[in-house]
Structure 1
Amino acid sequence: MDPEAVVKAFKTWSLLAALVATGCTLTPDARETLASLPESVPAPDDNPTTPEAVELGRMLFWDPILSGNRDVACASCHHPDFAYSDGLAFPVGVGGRFISAARNTPTVLGTAFNGLTVDGQVPPEQAQMFWDNRAESLEAQALGPLKNADEMRGTAFGEDEILGELVTRLVAIPAYTTLFEAAFGAESVNATNLAKALAAFERTLVPRDSSFDRYMAGDDEAMTTSQIRGLHGFISQGCSGCHSGPMLSDYKLHNLKVPARIGEAGYGESVFPEPEGGAFRTPSLRMVTRTAPYMHNGVFETLSETVDFYHNIDHHIKVDPLVEGDVEVAHGQGDDILVFFEALSEGTFDRTIPERVPSGLPPAGGR
């Protein structure tokens, strides 16, 4: 184990000792390691979260006009019924096709706080996006699926053509030109402002008032005894070594050798080939009970399967040092950890589905 991993392991066990010593009340150090969400949501200076930009972004998010075939929208894969994920291992892209080579659809909830760790918040322009951290900022992320042939672009337009095509479509819809003008000024329908509007709306999708948040804010009665035991077990098992901070993620890439799923390239092999499929970002555990299936490829249908995976990792294969070692879950502790996950998933969030969108197409492609 490298020195950094040793230090983190020591801090984890020290934190557990403090928890046990104080009973149900978390110590200041524990509250710093696992914290409630900040009240204010960061936004770039050049894209403040105004009501006008949010309303435009909401319409765009639900409108299939942004897909090459006009059949899917952002909300097709990020739907409130599934806590703004899609409930599928394989996402469904343009043309109604399952994208077997794609990664599991992450929730959009809380992405406004991507990069927020125990060390603080990164500037929103540097917030890491996607399973491999390949984009920075919600604005940059917003354009990725629009340009992807399998997700939303389709094959009728090239990657260098699709954004111009979408702008042409939006300019031709008077309701959209009005919304863009209200948000960004006259003659403002362009790809940059399209991304800004989507990002502004997504920054409003933050889960609030969960039992976990109220507990971390000082309400010792907010979580049940079982959930508190689960929190202690979560820490004692080393889960908080990666799942820490207000978003329960360190936003780093880790190689866990997750098994391939049926239909995925490399299925039948015990691990993904490297470098592709090697290291993926620690996902946030916010709304975790509502966003099955799990892992970057959706290989596990339940949280129980996911927890079992961590306790049965094949250590003959080189894996991330933070998951090395064979730690058995104490009797009953596994169930308590699953109950603790429920405390992370009880928050409220905007579930509004527009009755109509400016294009006149079915919102979210009629899903």
Structure 2
Amino acid sequence: PMKRGPCGKVRSFIILLTEIRCPKLNMLANGGYKCSDGSYYNSRCEFFCSAGYSMKGQKTSVCQYNKVWSAGVPTCIDIDPPKIKCPNVKDKWAEPGKLTARVTWDTPEGVDTADGILTDVTLKGKPPKSDFPEGLHKMSYSVFDRAGNKGSCRFTIRVRVRRCSRLFPPDNGYMKCDSDGDNYGASCHFSCTGGSELQGSAARVCQSGLSWSGLDTTCAPMNINVGVRSAAALLDQFYEKRRLLIISAPTAANHNYRFQMTNLQPAQCGLDLRHVTVIELVGTYPAQVGRIRHRLLPPGLALQIRILLRIPQRSFHMVLVDKQGIDKQRYPFPITAAELFTTIDTFPLRKDEMLLQQEAGQFCQS
């Protein structure tokens, strides 16, 4: 038993206070606390959060006389977004003959003060090692930490195309280019309409120095030499350039001949569109003449054409020859221009010509 007296009262009170203890505080997740006197009466505990976390609740708590802490344990909330650094991609040049460039880069990682390295990143745009077309492409990466905080960054990819000055089809001719028509590595091929001869380069390529290979291309009017000595030499001038419709009659008064020429006269545009040259052979040996429009052929040359193509002299006859010099069709009687054009339009080479003419807007008014 304790003695009573002035000094005894003070001593017993101190002993009682030292025996007052509050429950031990729970440890903060992602943080901690530091107390002045553990869990004893009047001990003051200060709470703190780890880097990247923010405290929700009271920052301090004191152990009270009733053995209860003055405030509960706060929580540490991750509010610091992760950081991510996007790649720095230099401008890329398209490959020869292409309008795209393959672009590669290293996928970045996110860094978070709470979670450390984050590899689960999301890309908005094409992935690395993709082919990018010409132009500026805006890209971005985003990353989330475990608390749902988002970090993001942006970067751009620019693809450039080396280009030559643009070429144009020659007068009385066509031009067909691959790729984009003027980019480095692109090639353009030229051809002339029937009745014109190609001069210069039939094909040109856009070179690395941004200049075109070869010479300027033109289509000059076809110059038919009627002074040759043989029918073969005359027909060779039309090889791969013009189709031939050879009309033969014993006299200019022949009914079939007159009907045929009357029928073809208003169809000259259709003949030109299909690259057809008409050769007329009229009369019988030795009084026979040949004509290509307004140019007369020597009688001997007219005779050689009939012999070479096995055309009878004493009856009306027509022969249709294609651009390869092949005898495609024979007619012992007149035909309409529409029938002739239908036949020619079935030729394989003619189908390619029709596409080119359609692209160039070349057609005859009906």
Superposed pair shares fold, TM > 0.5: no
Larger strand proportion, structure 1 or 2? 2
TM-score of Structure 1 vs Structure 2, range by shorter chain:
under 0.3
| TM-score normalized with structure 1 length | 0.17
Larger radius of gyration: 2
Higher-RCO chain (CA-CA 8 Å, sequence separation at least 6): 1
